Chains A and B, each alone.
Chain A
Amino acid sequence: MDRIAMRKFSMKQDDRPIEPTMEQIQRNQDFSKLYHEYERLTKRGKKPIYRDPKLYLLMVLIGIIALLLFFEG
């Protein structure tokens, strides 16, 4: 059943051609937007440090040690 197309055809009722205009093409052509979207998607898996509990604790520990060493000195 899933081999039957989910797309259906129908006859066009008006004379407007199914072709994008140059304006539509230019409006949608934007490599910098695509590049940023690509970067966002590919870097999506990286969590910020404060959201990683283990790394966050480690950073706090390093901070405390650094502080203790500072006061010790």
Chain B
Amino acid sequence: MNSQRKHIKQLSEPEIIELAKTDQKYFGELYNTYFQRIFRFVFKRLGGNEEVANDLTQQTFIKAMANIAKYEDRGLPFSSWLFRIAQNEVSMFFRSQKNGYTVEIEDWRMKDLCSEGNILGYMTQEDQEKLVGLLNEMEQEHLDLIELRFFQEMSFKEISEIYNITEANAKMRVYRILEKLKNKWTASL
């Protein structure tokens, strides 16, 4: 077992992925490498719900394990494929919540969002609540991008890898959503 682990450690990630396609036991190495990042991602998207985060992370890896044979290296990091699966799992979970699911946001994240969107310089608590209300009126896909950028603190490059789009396109989409939010804010004054 130790010699096998040593053997795996000597392999590159693409080699491990190829082995995992025919023998799922090799998938364990990928699981151990990426578990923390995926769990952290899901945990934060759920606003800190450990139990559901564990279930959805498990689902993510089970789906990845079941579909690894179809995985193709297109020059993107393997993690972006896992993040995409995790992103879908979280979205499906949100959709399954008939009464809605509330995610709490820290105020400094809202300040970051306002600063980057050039929405408001100084925010009172009332402003924050109002802006959160406007966010809640936006579409799921738009909120996903806002979450990735401001609540998960992902770079445009990371976002582009998850969505399989160019970095410029990711940036453009985020700024369009911010513009939309800014217009909603202005209209609400």
Contacts and interface: CB of A to CB of B under 8 A. Distances in A.
B57 A28 contact: yes
Interface of B: 24-25, 28, 31-32, 35-36, 39-40, 43-44, 47-48, 50, 53-54, 57-58, 61-62, 65-66, 94-98, 100-107, 110, 125, 128-129, 132, 135-140, 143
How many A residues touch the partner, as a band? 20 to 34
Contact of B36 (A5, A7, A12, A25): A25
A17 B107 CA distance: 11
B65 A38 contact: yes
A65 to B, nearest CB: 41
Interface of A: 2-13, 16-20, 24-25, 28-29, 31, 34-35, 37-38, 41-42
Shortest 6 CB-CB contacts between residues of A and residues of B: A12-B104, A7-B94, A31-B28, A28-B54, A5-B140, A20-B43
A3 B138 CA distance: 9
Nearest to B90: A7
A34 B35 CA distance: 11
B40 A19 contact: yes
Contacts of B107: 11-12
Nearest to A12: B104
B136 A8 contact: yes
A21 B140 CA distance: 28
Contacts of B47: 18
Contacts of A42: 66
B39 A37 contact: no
Contacts of B140: 3-7
A22 to B, nearest CB: 9
A30 to B, nearest CB: 9
Contacts of B50: 20, 24, 28
A13 B24 CA distance: 44
Contacts of A2: 95
B129 A11 contact: yes
A25 B32 CA distance: 11
B39 A6 contact: no
A27 B79 CA distance: 22
B65 A29 contact: no
A43 to B, nearest CB: 12
B94 A6 contact: yes
A8 B102 contact: yes
A37 B62 contact: yes
Nearest to B106: A12
B66 A25 contact: no
